[in-house]
Amino acid sequence: MIIRGGTFGPVATNTYIVADARGGSAWVVDPAMGSSAWAHETLSRLEATPVAVLDTHGHWDHIVENHVWAAEGLPVWVAGADADWLEAPSPFNPALFGDLPPTPGVTPARLLADGDVLELGDLRFRLLATPGHSPGCMVALEETHGEALVGDLVFAQGIGRTDFPRSDPRAMLASLERVFAEVPRETRIYPGHGPWAVTLGEAEPYARMFM
Ligand SMILES: [Zn+2]
């Protein structure tokens, strides 16, 4: 299992390329603003074929380059609760980002739900719905390899904000408790912002400062 990360755009959003093996199949996870050239280069270095875009949730900074991949024929996946944000992308706080070019919307090819299992070559990701930061936040856990894409649920030293439109602080607490209970502590996490590949067990005490 291969995961490569890069950090892009006005709020330092992490984009990941996840592949089952060199020369295998790959996902583009959370295509942030300005990530596409890096993502294409990473895919070609890995000789991997991109097969889908996985959006951990529908916030603008994580989906802004969906359209680049959709134009290449890739299906885009997101949880149903955040799907409308993909159809009409725009940041909540445009003033923060200056004069942005308009972001073309995409129609998700598949709406993800809790308990879904996504296969990527011989990798199997189990999805956990983790609402709170946004209604459609998902964690994708590859249990055999002990790696998880966690979006903006939990960071190396903190948790996602819950003061955005449609955020729900109470749901966030329940989602965090669920993940700390269900996901093994030694699982390496790949969050939407900040450092990655720390273990969930290392991140938990920092998260608990905000719970
Ligand atoms: Zn977010």
- Please state, for a pLDDT cut of 90, what percent of the chain lies above it: 92
Centre of ligand 1 to C-alpha 145, Å, is: 25
| pLDDT at residue 98, rounded to an integer | 72
Q: Which domain holds residue 173?
A: 2-208
Centre of ligand 1 to C-alpha 7, Å, is: 14
Q: Does the pLDDT of residue 94 top 80, yes or no? A: no
| pLDDT at residue 36, rounded to an integer | 98
Centre of ligand 1 to C-alpha 168, Å, is: 13
Centre of ligand 1 to C-alpha 23, Å, is: 31
Centre of ligand 1 to C-alpha 13, Å, is: 9
Q: Does the pLDDT of residue 53 top 80, yes or no? A: yes
The total number of structural domains in the chain stands at: 1
Taking Cα atoms as reference points, which of 116, 40, 117, 106 lies closest to residue 76? 106
Q: Does the pLDDT of residue 169 top 80, yes or no? A: yes
Centre of ligand 1 to C-alpha 71, Å, is: 24
What pLDDT, in 10s, does the model give residues 129-144?
A: 999 999 999 999 999 9
Q: 191 or 88: whose pLDDT is higher? A: 191
Mean pLDDT of the chain: 96
What pLDDT, in 10s, does the model give residues 15-44?
A: 999 999 999 999 999 999 999 999 999 999
What pLDDT, in 10s, does the model give residues 57-83?
A: 999 999 999 999 999 999 999 999 999
Taking Cα atoms as reference points, which of 57, 11, 81, 84 lies closest to residue 150? 57
Q: What angle do CA 181, 184, 186 make, to 5 degrees?
A: 135
Q: Are 32 and 5 in contact (CB under 8 A)?
A: no
Residue type, 127: L
Centre of ligand 1 to C-alpha 133, Å, is: 6
CATH of the domain at 125: 3.60.15.10
What pLDDT, in 10s, does the model give residues 106-127?
A: 999 999 999 999 999 999 999 9
Q: Is 146 helix (H, G, I), strand (E, B) or coil?
A: coil
Burial of 205: CB neighbours in 10 Å, binned 0-12, 13-18, 19+: exposed
Phi, psi dihedrals of residue 69, rounded to the nearest 5°: -80, -35
